[in-house]
Amino acid sequence: MKNLTKYLVIAIIPFLFTSCEKSEESPNPTINKIKVGEAMITDANTKLQIWADADLNTGYNKLYLIALDATTNEPKSDATFAIKPMMTMTMTGGMTMTHSSPFEQADAAAKKNNLTPAAAVFTMPTSDSGFWKMEVTLNNNKKAIIPIKVEESKQSRLIMASTADKTNYIVALLPNPAYKIGANDFELQISRKIDANTYTPVNDFTVEMTPEMPDMGHGSPNNVNPTFVANGHYKGKVNFTMSGYWKVNLKIKDASGTTIGEDTFFKITF
């Protein structure tokens, strides 16, 4: 029996090593990420790339920007970025109009592995009559327009809500690729629409969360309501007692206690 244990330990050792290698020294900064857009800035001999954790979906998407030397394909470690998502829509009658969406500006301070993080909350998917592009400004002077494709999210990740005075809010659920039975991180990003091109994060709301399983009519205990952390982000914990389809009901109130939107919820299936 002791021998058996010994062999087991020996057998496990190689696995321990392989798993260490993976997590510590990633040779490729974009491993596990997907390239969602690319453009050349010829006069700077630079390739601009946008990466993401998954295909772009309506809702909140984390983005990663990188600039590469077009000849050597080596990352340019001193590159800085500024982004702005734009959608062009063709209206009935052939007229076009453009609008932006809430986004989080590229943060040079948070650059890691030559990838500069940013985020965008896409409010609608790419369609026959509307397409998204990302305006990226490199080093404060060179601009590139990168076409990107946004698909309709399979999970509900976006709530458009408004108040009686017609102020519009966009509530986005940060994606969680691994929901589990148990306690799950639940993070929202809330923005106020100023006009079609301007959105600001909202920092003074309160959120009450009640998950339920509509097929069975039950909820779950000990949930932690999302509370404000920074930049329009609200963090909480949602508890799922089983896998399947959950409806996470939200009651969002502004600083004066007025409820934003009616029947606001996210549907989560895992």
Partner 1 sequence: MEFSKFIAIGLGLGLLAFGNVSAQECCPTDSIYKHCNLQEVVITEKVSGDNALLKFYKSTKTSSTEDVLSRLAAVNLIRRGNYAMEPVIRGFSASQIGLTLDGIKIFGACTDHMDPPTSYVEPSNLKSIQLATSAGASKFGSNIGGSLNLQLAQAQLGTEKTVSGMFTSSYSLASQSTNNVLELNYGAKRFGIRFSGVYRKSGNYLANRQEVPFTQYQKLNFSVNSKYMLSDNSFLSLDVLADDGWNIGYAALPMDVSSAKARIYALSYKVFPKNKAFTYFETKVYGNNIIHSMDDTKRPLTPMHMDMPGWSDTYGAYTETAITLNSKNLLTIRTDGYTNLTRAEMTMYPQNSAPMFMLTWPDVRNTTIGLYLNNDYLLNKKFTINLNGRLDYSSSKITSEIGRTQLEVFNYKVDNARIKLLKNINGGTTYKSGNFHSSINIGYSERPSSTNELYGFYLFNAYDGYDYIGNPNIKDERSFNMELNAGYKTKFTDITVALFNNEIQNYTLGKYHPELSVMTIGANGVKVYEQIAHANLKGFEIGLSTVLLKNLQLISNARYTKGTDNDNNPLPLISPFKLTSSVRYAKSKFSLQAENIWATAQNKVSTMVNEKTTPAYTLFNLRGTYAFKVKQNKLELNAGVENLFDTYYQDHLDWGNIPRPGRNVMMGLSYVF
**1 contacts partner 1 (rule: CB under 8 A):** yes
Output 34 or 242, the one with its CB closest to partner 1. 242
**5 contacts partner 1 (rule: CB under 8 A):** yes
Output 163 or 241, the one with its CB closest to partner 1. 241
Nearest Cα neighbor of 120 from 106, 109, 110, 138 is 106
Q: Which does 175 bind (CB under 5 to 8 A by kind): Cu ion, partner 1, none?
A: none
Given 196, 216, 229, 255, the residue binding partner 1 (CB under 8 A)? 216
Q: Which does 127 bind (CB under 5 to 8 A by kind): partner 1, Cu ion, none?
A: none
Give first-to-last CA distance, the chain, whole Å: 41
* Residues in binding contact with Cu ion, number by CB under 5 A: 3
In whole angstroms, give the CA distance from residue 270 to residue 261: 26
**177 contacts partner 1 (rule: CB under 8 A):** no
**175 contacts partner 1 (rule: CB under 8 A):** no
Q: Supply 230's token pair.
A: 């920074």
Q: Supply 146's token pair.
A: 């990168």
Output 149 or 218, the one with its CB closest to partner 1. 218
Strand 142-148 with 130-138, pairing: antiparallel
Neighbours of 59 (CB within 10 A): 25
**7 contacts partner 1 (rule: CB under 8 A):** no
Region 214-233 residues binding Cu ion, contact defined as CB under 5 A: 216
**12 contacts partner 1 (rule: CB under 8 A):** no
**181 contacts Cu ion (rule: CB under 5 A):** no
Range 98-107 contact pairs with CB under 8 angstroms and sequence separation of 24 or more: 98/196, 98/197, 99/196, 99/197, 100/196, 100/197, 100/198, 100/199, 101/170, 101/199, 102/170, 102/172, 102/189, 102/191, 102/199, 102/201, 103/199, 104/189, 104/231, 106/65, 106/80, 106/81, 106/82
**213 contacts partner 1 (rule: CB under 8 A):** yes
Q: Which does 183 bind (CB under 5 to 8 A by kind): partner 1, Cu ion, none?
A: partner 1
Site string for partner 1, 234-253 (x = CB under 8 A): -----xxxxxxx--------
Q: Which does 105 bind (CB under 5 to 8 A by kind): partner 1, Cu ion, none?
A: none
**213 contacts Cu ion (rule: CB under 5 A):** yes
**10 contacts partner 1 (rule: CB under 8 A):** no
Output 125 or 219, the one with its CB closest to Cu ion. 219
Q: Supply 99's token pair.
A: 């609008």
Burial 66-103 (b: 16+ CB within 10 A, else e): bbbeeeeeebbeebebbbbbebeeeeeeeeeeebbbbb
In whole angstroms, give the CA distance from residue 36 to residue 144: 15
Q: Which does 20 bind (CB under 5 to 8 A by kind): Cu ion, partner 1, none?
A: none
Residues engaged in binding Cu ion (CB under 5 A): 213, 216, 242
Residues engaged in binding partner 1 (CB under 8 A): 1-2, 4-5, 180-183, 213, 215-222, 239-245, 269-270
